[in-house]
Structure 1
Amino acid sequence: MRGLGYTLPAVVAAIAVVVLELRWLRTGLFRRPAYWISMVIVFGFQIPVDGWLTRLDAPIVLYDDNHITGLRFPWDIPVEDFVFGFALVTGALLAWERLGPAARHHPERDEADR
């Protein structure tokens, strides 16, 4: 089936990190303006780099059309790349929040856990 090879795992990963945050970790990451600003920065760099790598007129990275939806925006970037990028960056930030040094310095969360 078209789109299952890359699209399905990308969508599942994105849903998984959202569910992980909202149901289990509850770091409050999605409520922070800094998170959304960081996502704008990530996508701001992803667009020119990914656009150059995946452009259809001279691609460096090739995708099997049977494994993506075929939707490309902007500059020939498969939309799956943005979904996977969201999941990857959000997952890393959630891990940092829960396991990194910053996790030890949140008095409001420490108090809520008591």
Structure 2
Amino acid sequence: MIPWGYTVPAVAAVAVVVAAELTVLRTGLFRRLAYWIAIVIVTGFQIPVDGWLTKLSGPIVRYSPEDISGWRFPWDIPVEDFLFGYALITAVLLVWERTRPREEQSP
């Protein structure tokens, strides 16, 4: 059974953001080391916070088992949280890059 409630939207969010960059926005963000370093930093902070919020021994945030894939890594974090986090951070950075004023070209 496919968990439609949270898994499918999480995967779709990543697909939409990546497709938007590759086909429409074309900011070149995915080719920048600074972007990947930022993703590592965000994930590094997400793991302890999300792990504390979703730990199965005493969750603050609970997920309906039929709405998630059931894959949890590390510390009981649903993998869908990482997908949504990636899509959200990447979307914000893409909008930032796209709307940033460009340096004027010299004649």
Shorter-chain TM-score bucket reads over 0.9
- Looking at structure 1, the residues matched to 9 and 95 of structure 2 have their Cα atoms a distance apart, in angstroms, of 20
Q: Secondary structure at the match of 2:48?
A: helix
Structure 1 unmatched runs, 5+: none
Structure 2 unmatched runs, 5+: none
Give the fraction of aligned pairs with identical amino acids, expressed as a percent. Answer: 63
When residues 37 and 106 of structure 1 are mapped into structure 2, their CA distance, relative to the original with a 3 A threshold, is: farther
- Looking at structure 2, the residues matched to 106 and 82 of structure 1 have their Cα atoms a distance apart, in angstroms, of 34
Which has the larger helix fraction? 1
TM-score with structure 2 setting the length: 0.94
4+ residue segments displaced more than 3 Å:
none
RMSD: 1.5
The equivalent of 2:16 in structure 1 is 16
TM-score with structure 1 setting the length: 0.88
| 1:53-96 Cα shifts (integer Å, max 9, x gaps) | 00000000000001000000000000000001000000010011
**Count of residues paired in the alignment:** 106
Measured after TM superposition, the shift of residue 106 of structure 1 is: 4.6
